[in-house]
Amino acid sequence: MNRGVYITGTDTGVGKTVVAASLLAALNALGVRALGMKPVASGCAITPRGLRNSDAQLLIAHSAGAPEYALVNPYAFADPIAPHLAAADAGIEIEIGRIGAAFDALSTMSQFTVVEGVGGWMAPLGPVLMQSALAQVLRVPVILVVGLRLGCLNHALLSARAIQADGCELLGWVGNCIDADMLRVDDNLATLRARLGSPCLGVLPYSERADASELATHLDAACDWLSIHAPGPD
């Protein structure tokens, strides 16, 4: 197994990027040289340097050093649509080998690589390729970001079941308060702790303008767990 972790979510828009960036900030603050990666991103801006994704750029901002954009985000698509549709429109096939090569390159520059997935766990990347293949090929365990809003229990339990059914290790989960008006938040968290079967690695509070450096303090449990349980290189 590699020194890294794959961040997935119960859906799109649940805060995977915020959690990934906060985890990078927390690890680097502890002296662990950590880099972020967003292998596939749709919804990118056209710039003089090529397509750029704001999520990938946020990961770079909280990474150690200044990793090359093409390594952090090997597949960038302009339209904010499902990645398999964006790839088909661009006449491109997302290739696992290209992503693996970028991951390996980043791994030579860091002690730990935080890889952010796209959408929810079952988001397809091609006619056959599924997101689970990325975690499998990169040989990293998974952290599930649970967007805390009505319906999160069903989404979290189904996602956890799918991750494990795909033969991937669910290292733990992070709750992210994305609905300021959600009722019974503590009771929902208690249900998740009782039923998910993997540890809670942190809960991020609701914030209008999430700051990864400030939220990093809420992921101490994640850093402790990763330092103890995340596998080292073969």
pLDDT at 71 over 50: yes
Burial of 151 (0-12, 13-18, 19+ CB in 10 A): exposed
Query: 78-102, pLDDT tens digit by residue?
Result: 999 999 999 999 999 999 999 999 9
Q: pLDDT per residue over 25-51, tens digit each?
A: 999 999 899 999 999 999 999 999 999
In this predicted structure, what is the pLDDT of residue 220? Answer: 84
Domain ranges of the chain: 4-229
Catalytic residue among 38, 62, 84, 149: 38
* 38 carries an active-site annotation: yes
Question: Residue 233 has what pLDDT?
Answer: 46
Q: What long-range pairs does 181-189 form, CB within 8 A, spacing at least 24?
A: 182/148, 182/149, 182/150, 185/148, 188/148, 188/152, 188/153, 189/148
Estimate the share of the chain in helix, then strand, then coil, as percent rounded to the nearest 5.
40, 25, 35
From the options 3.90.1150.10, 3.30.450.70, 3.40.50.300, 3.30.457.10, give the CATH code of 4-229: 3.40.50.300
152-191 tens-digit pLDDT: 999 999 999 999 999 999 999 999 999 999 999 999 999 9
For position 224, what pLDDT does the model report? 82
